[in-house]
Structure 1
Amino acid sequence: MAVITRRDFAKLAGAGAATLTLGGLLSGCANNSESEAVPTATDSGDVPNEVIVSMTPGSEPAAGFDPMVSWGCGEHVHEPLIQSTLIRTTAELAFENDLATSYECSDDGLTWTFTIRDDARFTDGEPLTARDVAFTINGIRSAAASECDLSMVREATAPDDATVVIAMEKPFNALLYTLAVVGIVPEHAYGEGYGSNPIGSGRYMLDQWDKGQQVILRANPDYYGEAPKMKRLVAVFMEEDASLAAAQSGQVDVAYTSATFAAQQPAGYDLLNCASVDSRGISLPVVPAGASKTDEKGDAVAGNDVTCDVAVRRAINYGVDRERMIDNVLNGFGTVAYSVGDGMPWSSPDMACVTDKELANKLLDEGGWTPGADGIREKDGVRASMDLYYSAGDTVRQGIAEEFSNQMKELGLEFAVKGVSWDDLYPHQFSDPVVWGWGTNSPIETYNLFYSKGSGNYACYENASTDAYLDEALGMPRVEDSFELWKKAQWDGSTGFAPQGDAPWVWFANIDHLYFAKENLRVAEQKPHPHGHGWSLVNNVDQWSWA
């Protein structure tokens, strides 16, 4: 199996797939001879018990429905539906049991013990036991292709059928957030091809997968929990304009859309606006040019002679008008963001900074950056001019880059906007500002971006105090007790990565996730959506209903 790294997954998600035509959608949904006949709104006067949802082409899992690779627990996290998880998170992001009936962590944070329910069965009739849980966790831990990071786990063992013990390499209580999206696979039936023919114990079963077009899930009749109200979920993969056309013709029940098309609301549909932690921001390398950094692809150039000056980074954070950004780029469909986790229990109010261009100019002046003849600032022979990269084809990131560049000119900072492919973007990830999309219902995102050895530390940020706070936070036996430490990592009154501190990033907005949903469809209460416009919407599709 080929190794799929985090950056490869992002490329696949951004690249998209073949657009599904409306004719293909109709024929695909009708051609389901192996499935039970489920009446729909278009072929029966009865209240339907299926829902058809359009998703982005990148929502189709490249490796299939395999939690050992990326299904549920990869770049865009969501509940795996086909498989059960040990625990789940509620709409309020509290933990609740799924396969687990109880769990506890040792005082030193190095041992987690889960008790497993005894009434869960896989769809082939075999019982799910603690051995399957241990097999899944150990498999992810050792799989080179896995998008799920369980490197902090030493080993999972099953002393009996009802008990799983997870031994940790180091304390890492954010493990719970990961386990909430890790689907458990059967040890006896896992192998090559599992992603295309998954056996699980979750709320739904894979009924049909027409690659590049659609996926059909049907309710698992032997599910141990409350029977799903929706007996069938059809996910169709299409580009944004095709999604709009499918809603306009009434051929989907829920169609994803964006601020660009939100005003074109089709008759018979409501605009469903889901709050998100899908953040957009720009990394600002904190070290001078000439440095190097090693990631999973090898050595890369790092550093930037303009953004390495903390005065510039702070000025950018205070000088950008986020409300103007949201109005001009998102047509108002977003909320101001100052961090990658605004509104989460671990987010700090100290990350907030109101627009203050007078302060921004003062910071630049006092930092020795003086305007040149053309208005662009200079310092010690270094011109405050740099490239700003974004992934081509993403209109929102393009809009953010252009709006940001225009605003920064008012401060005497020049950003040349570069829309390039992912392959051409990544060589610049540690050396130039880049427009990124991040966000998940877990503090792991903060760790990845701001821990000195974090997998997303594109700013090359290193702060011993921040590292210490993050390590201490992850070492707390109770997740709830760690939130104040996460906040101190951001700003403890004297240091941190807040805008008044080291400011290695500038954040703009959490993008609203928008959908056209049929008026008589009752969509259950949503969790804040993470980064990615797809499967997170249907986390609780089993609770949806038709009026």
Structure 2
Amino acid sequence: MFKLLATPPERGLSERRRIRMASGASQQQRKVAAGVLGTLALIAAACASGPTSVAPAPSTASAAVDFNPQPYENIKDGGILRVPGSVIEQGNPFHADANLPAHRLWFWYNADAITYSPTGEVQYNPDYFSDVQVGVVGGNQKVTIRINPKATFNDGTPIDYRALEATWRASNGSNKDFFAGDIVPYSRITSVHAGQDDKEAVIEFTGVDTAWSALFTTFLHPKAAADPATFNQAYLGNVQPDWGAGPYTVTRYDAKVGDITFERNTKWWGKKGKLDKRIVVGLDYQASINAFRNGELDYITASAADQLRQISAVPGTEVRKGGSPFQSYLFLNSKSPLLADLVVRKAVLESIDRRQIVSIYLQGLDYQEPLPGSALLYSFQHGYQDNVSQVIKFDPEGAKKDLDDAGWKVGADGIREKDGKRLELGYTLFGDDPLGKAAAGAFTKQLEPIGVKLTAKPTAASDFDSVVSGRKFDVFLSGNRSADPFGARYLDTFYGSTSNQNLSGAGTPELDAKIKAVSEIADPEAQIEKANEVEREGLALCGFVPLHSGPSIYGVSQGLANVGATIFGTPLPETVGWQK
């Protein structure tokens, strides 16, 4: 559907209540503290000696998968799956403020009409879309979807063309009061209407959109898009089970701590979910690891070597490791007073030694990858180009000269000043992740030599949505996970000046016009080629820089099927469970 925002590590960062710990918890906490100190010591040494020396990286990142794929017939009936979770502020995935945890919550109690294989092939779910026909007439694309006659929302409303129409109207930008996140591709749809009957939806486009499937992987209940207030507020700290559909529904939700219980949906018309329950427990990350070690969770992720060691030692645990369609970025707020100056933004990004940051995150994981060169495509995808290296160089000396020429003079304490303003920036640090703290320390050290003071501002992970949506930051690190393989369609997300999802806010009307032109290219090869060209122009605005992807690492209880590193793959909820 779109790129999905997440705080790093990709999953599990929240300031939440802690569950009961076993008697060994204090010892475990000492191990964690030792790991943090060791990482910080490594950073201090690296920063003192300049760029970190690392082994040559491979030419592409890993595209490996590891999730124990099993057909429906190989999954046991029954059982409970216990997983960590976090508080969801905006639960509407079509809203610009929705993040990755919100998408995952939605996936378990709403329609999953279109999914993708690990390598990105489109998969239509016949329980929703029983037939799909795509054609081009007079240069314009028409998609005709036959909706399963049994498909019904939990409140009894038939799922028909009106659901797709409501989703399009809320997302196409015609009414700016709908704070939608993916406007440009929806704006190319001219109409959504009934075909032979209400159970046939006809979607008509201006031109051709080969990535159209990403627009309707799921959809809204028409009531959820009835007006902007409902669209923007109905899912704020809330779930709407009556507006959902699927093999599971929400039977318990505690918005304050993030606890959610999913149980089989008695109104579901397709194959029943294999699990009796999926219980999500809102925990901060270290509490999640402790809970997994104590046998209170069946699933956990790891993003650091110390975390991997902790979960690997748990009896009955299988570690699954693969590639990741995830990428972290250093964002600069172009709307903040000091960073409104392109010269300052460029100097900051040219002083970031990305290889050193990557070495922090990948230390001890036995994994290497090239520095990411694009926010649109991953290095393992066809059409990928390293656009970053052509635009943003690691050049601290050049950064100093640019700041000198722009009138930023070095003060007695080494911090630059201009027009009575000191070049002091805040680094918003979310949550309690040790690697996040380590990276903040590295960024601070890297900017000192050019006369920029960067001060870490610890912030609860629960404030993530409000900080991002209100653009209440100077600098911060976050990331996106791709929910589909169509990278070229995300130009507006990262570089559009009016995009609600452009976190840096950097953009120009001229670049907007070029982004729109890319969206209108019908040939996928030509579109990707042009998208790379336009991305280089977007990167030159210095609103952000990609940092790393890293591996996807999961610790799961043995026998858990269809869970793990899937790249673009999305096993349907009814297929998740315990292998026979």
Q: TM-score, normalised by structure 1?
A: 0.70
1:132 shift after superposition: 4.0
Q: Deviations over 1:310-334 (max 9, x none)?
A: 7515523567633333246x96778
Q: Deviations over 1:83-108 (max 9, x none)?
A: 33443222222322233322436578
Alignment-derived partner of residue 198 in structure 1: 242
2:251 aligned with 1:208: yes
Greater relative contact order (CA < 8 Å, ≥ 6 in sequence) = 2
SS at match of 1:180: coil
Counterpart AA for 2:252: W
- Which of the numbers 427, 431, 454 marks the counterpart of 1:415? 454
Alignment-derived partner of residue 65 in structure 2: none
1:203-352 paired onto structure 2 within 5 Å: 204-206=247-249, 208-211=251-254, 212=257, 213-218=259-264, 223-224=269-270, 228-230=273-275, 232-259=277-304, 261-265=307-311, 266-273=314-321, 275-284=323-332, 302-304=337-339, 308-309=343-344, 312-313=347-348, 315-316=350-351, 321-327=356-362, 336-343=371-378, 344=381, 347-352=384-389
Q: What is the alpha-carbon distance in structure 1 between the residues aligned to residue 169 and residue 419 of structure 2?
A: 54
Q: What is the alpha-carbon distance in structure 2 between the residues aligned to residue 378 and residue 127 of structure 1?
A: 63
Q: What is the alpha-carbon distance in structure 1 between the residues aligned to residue 99 and residue 339 of structure 2?
A: 33
Counterpart AA for 2:115: R
Q: What is the alpha-carbon distance in structure 2 between the residues aligned to residue 82 and residue 143 of structure 1?
A: 28
Contact 1:274 1:513 in 2 (8 A): yes
> Closer, same or farther in 2 for the Cα pair 1:439/1:155, shift >3 Å?
same
> Closer, same or farther in 2 for the Cα pair 1:74/1:426, shift >3 Å?
closer
2:103 aligned with 1:77: yes
Q: What is the alpha-carbon distance in structure 2 between the residues aligned to residue 407 and residue 333 of structure 1?
A: 24
> Closer, same or farther in 2 for the Cα pair 1:199/1:184, shift >3 Å?
closer
Q: What is the alpha-carbon distance in structure 2 between the residues aligned to residue 503 and residue 332 of structure 1?
A: 32
1:242 shift after superposition: 2.9
- Which of the numbers 45, 50, 56 marks the counterpart of 2:85? 56
Contact 1:449 1:457 in 2 (8 A): yes
245-254 or 314-323, which deviates more: 314-323
Contact 1:306 1:382 in 2 (8 A): no
> Closer, same or farther in 2 for the Cα pair 1:520/1:179, shift >3 Å?
same
> Closer, same or farther in 2 for the Cα pair 1:278/1:17, shift >3 Å?
same
2:145 aligned with 1:115: yes
> Closer, same or farther in 2 for the Cα pair 1:332/1:388, shift >3 Å?
farther
- Which of the numbers 117, 120, 132 marks the counterpart of 1:102? 132
Alignment-derived partner of residue 32 in structure 1: none
- Which of the numbers 494, 497, 512 marks the counterpart of 2:538? 497
Q: What is the alpha-carbon distance in structure 2 between the residues aligned to residue 174 and residue 97 of structure 1?
A: 14
Counterpart AA for 2:339: N
> Closer, same or farther in 2 for the Cα pair 1:446/1:539, shift >3 Å?
farther
Alignment-derived partner of residue 214 in structure 2: 177
Contact 1:390 1:398 in 2 (8 A): no
The unaligned stretches of length 5 or more in structure 1 are 1-5, 24-45, 287-292, 294-300, 530-535
Q: What is the alpha-carbon distance in structure 2 between the residues aligned to residue 168 and residue 75 of structure 1?
A: 31
Q: What is the alpha-carbon distance in structure 2 between the residues aligned to residue 254 and residue 154 of structure 1?
A: 44
Contact 2:388 2:545 in 1 (8 A): no
Q: TM-score, normalised by structure 2?
A: 0.66
Q: Deviations over 1:104-123 (max 9, x none)?
A: 36578876432214443326
Q: What is the alpha-carbon distance in structure 1 between the residues aligned to residue 168 and residue 495 of structure 2?
A: 26
Q: What is the alpha-carbon distance in structure 1 between the residues aligned to residue 253 and residue 473 of structure 2?
A: 41
Contact 1:87 1:180 in 2 (8 A): yes
Alignment-derived partner of residue 442 in structure 2: 403
Alignment-derived partner of residue 559 in structure 2: 520
Greater per-residue helix proportion: 2
Contact 2:170 2:178 in 1 (8 A): no
Counterpart AA for 1:488: E
SS at match of 1:77: helix
Alignment-derived partner of residue 361 in structure 1: 397
> Alignment identity in percent?
11
Contact 1:377 1:383 in 2 (8 A): no
1:165 shift after superposition: 2.9
Counterpart AA for 1:198: D
2:515 aligned with 1:470: yes
Alignment-derived partner of residue 30 in structure 1: none
Q: What is the alpha-carbon distance in structure 1 between the residues aligned to residue 365 and residue 376 of structure 2?
A: 22
2:579 aligned with 1:546: yes
109-118 or 515-524, which deviates more: 109-118
> Closer, same or farther in 2 for the Cα pair 1:504/1:128, shift >3 Å?
closer
Q: What is the alpha-carbon distance in structure 2 between the residues aligned to residue 54 and residue 389 of structure 1?
A: 31
SS at match of 2:309: coil
- Which of the numbers 193, 206, 210 marks the counterpart of 1:157? 193
Q: Deviations over 1:196-255 (max 9, x none)?
A: 4335543x121621424331232668544x665545433333222332232222232213
SS at match of 1:401: helix
330-339 or 273-282, which deviates more: 330-339
Contact 1:390 1:418 in 2 (8 A): yes
SS at match of 1:308: helix
Q: What is the alpha-carbon distance in structure 2 between the residues aligned to residue 268 and residue 464 of structure 1?
A: 56
SS at match of 2:498: coil
Q: What is the alpha-carbon distance in structure 2 between the residues aligned to residue 426 and residue 125 of structure 1?
A: 36
Q: What is the alpha-carbon distance in structure 1 between the residues aligned to residue 358 and residue 13 of structure 2?
A: 26
2:115 aligned with 1:88: yes
430-439 or 330-339, which deviates more: 330-339
Alignment-derived partner of residue 436 in structure 1: 478
SS at match of 1:416: strand
SS at match of 2:549: strand
Q: How many residues align?
A: 484
1:264 shift after superposition: 0.8
Q: What is the alpha-carbon distance in structure 2 between the residues aligned to residue 264 and residue 146 of structure 1?
A: 41
Q: What is the alpha-carbon distance in structure 2 between the residues aligned to residue 406 and residue 452 of structure 1?
A: 31
Alignment-derived partner of residue 549 in structure 2: 510
Q: What is the alpha-carbon distance in structure 2 between the residues aligned to residue 334 and residue 545 of structure 1?
A: 32
> Closer, same or farther in 2 for the Cα pair 1:334/1:539, shift >3 Å?
farther
